[in-house]
Amino acid sequence: DLTRVQATAAEVRRALDDANTERHVRVLGPAPAPLARLRGEHRIQILLKSRSRPRMRALIEMALGQAAIVPGCDIGSVNVEIDPVNLM
């Protein structure tokens, strides 16, 4: 449901902020995806911007690892896209 999706997005954002100590990655969101509901699933996006792909990948791995151990955080529903063609 939407509440679970929002809670997971908020936890992933918190984990990204905690892991992004050197602030080499800009984190935007969470925000509703342009298609906020697709095939019955609620969608929220978090956009990451960085000049360094290795730093961004390391940040994602750390943050998802942190978020995965939080009770109630449905990390299995998180989809990571590197260089998406569009944000739909």
pTM for the model stands at 0.90
* pLDDT single digits (tens) 5-61: 999 999 999 999 999 999 999 999 999 999 999 999 999 999 999 999 999 999 999
- What is the pLDDT averaged over residues 75-79? 91
Contacts 24+ apart (CB under 8 A), 73-79: 73/7, 73/8, 73/11, 73/12, 74/4, 74/5, 74/8, 75/8, 75/12, 77/5, 77/8, 78/8, 78/12
Domain boundaries, the chain: 2-76
* H/E run at residue 57: helix 53-68
88 has a pLDDT exceeding 70:
no
Give the whole-angstrom CA distance, residue 12 versus residue 4: 12
